Structure 1
Amino acid sequence: MYHQLSKFSGRLVSATHLQSPLFPVAPIALQRVEPPQIKYTSAQLSTVTESSACAAGPRKLVPGTNIPYPPVSESIRKQQDKFQKEDDVPVFLKGGPLDGILYRMTMALCIVGLLGVGHTIYSHAVPKQ
C-alpha cells in the first residue's frame, strides 16, 4: 500500500489511486518552530512568610505551591525513630515477629523454586531409560 501527504491535513494518508513505486511522492520538509520561552513569575517563586514558619526554622513547601508541609504526627515520629535506630537489625526485620515470619517464608519459597528449576533442568537434560 502506498501513502501520500494529504493537502488538507498535511499528514500521511493512504493513496487514493495506485502509484508507481518508481515515482514516490517527495516528502515536504518540516518547518522549524522555536520552543516556547519559560517565564517565571515572582508569585510562583514566593516563600512562606515568617509568621507561618515554625520555631525550629523555615519549613519546606509542597512542590509547585506556596503551602508548607503539615507537621508529622507523634505516631509517625515514633515509627521513624524505631526504624532509624542503630541496633544491627536489618530494616526488613524491625517491624516485629511478623516480619521475621514473612522473611523466612519468602526465603523458603525461593529455595523451593530454585530446587524446582534445578529438577526441571535435570529432567530435560538426562534422558529417561
Structure 2
Amino acid sequence: MFYQRDSVSGRITSSPQLKTPSNLGSLPEDPGIVYSPGTVFPKDRPARKGIYDVVPRFLLQRMEQFQKHDNIPIHLKGGPIDKVLFGTSLIMCAAGLAGCFQFFYKMSFPKKAQD
C-alpha cells in the first residue's frame, strides 16, 4: 500500500490514487551467462553407488583400532612405538622446564663481578 503526506493535517494517509503496473504477468528476459574465452568445464563423472569412494581395507582396520573402547588413551593406541614417543616427549618437556627454572635462578641471583 502506498502512503502520502496530507497537506492539510500534516499526517501520513493512504494514497487514493493507487497505480498498479500493467505488465505484471511478463518477466524480463534473463541476459544469460557469458563466459570468458578459454573457460574449461569439468567433465561429467560416471555415476556411482554412493557419493563416497571405496575405503581401503587397511584404513578400515586402522579406523576400527582407534575407535575401539578399551580404556586406552588415543595417543597410546598405536602400539609400543607410541609409548616410546610419549615417554620421550615427557622427558624432553621435563628437561626444558628444568632449564627454564635454572635460567630464572641464575638471573635472579647474579654472580658478583670481581674487581
Q: Shorter-chain TM-score: which interval?
A: 0.5 to 0.7
C-alpha offsets along residues 6-61 of structure 1, whole Å, 9 cap, x if unaligned?
Answer: xxxxxxxxxxxxxxxxxxxxxxxxxxxxxxxxx8xxxx9x9x85xx21xxxxx23x
1:113 matches 2:96: yes
List gaps (5 residues or longer) in structure 1: 1-38, 54-58, 61-68
Q: CA deviation at 1:70?
A: 2.1
2:82 partner SS: helix
Q: TM-score with structure 1 length normalisation?
A: 0.49
2:64 partner SS: helix
Whole-angstrom CA distance in 2 between matches of 1:119 and 1:83: 40
Matched residues, percent identical?
30
RMSD: 2.3
Q: 1:73 aligns with which of 30, 50, 56?
A: 56
Q: Which residue of 1 aligns with 2:6?
A: none
Q: Which residue of 2 aligns with 1:123?
A: 106
Pick the structure with greater CA Rg: 2
Moved over 2 A (4+): none
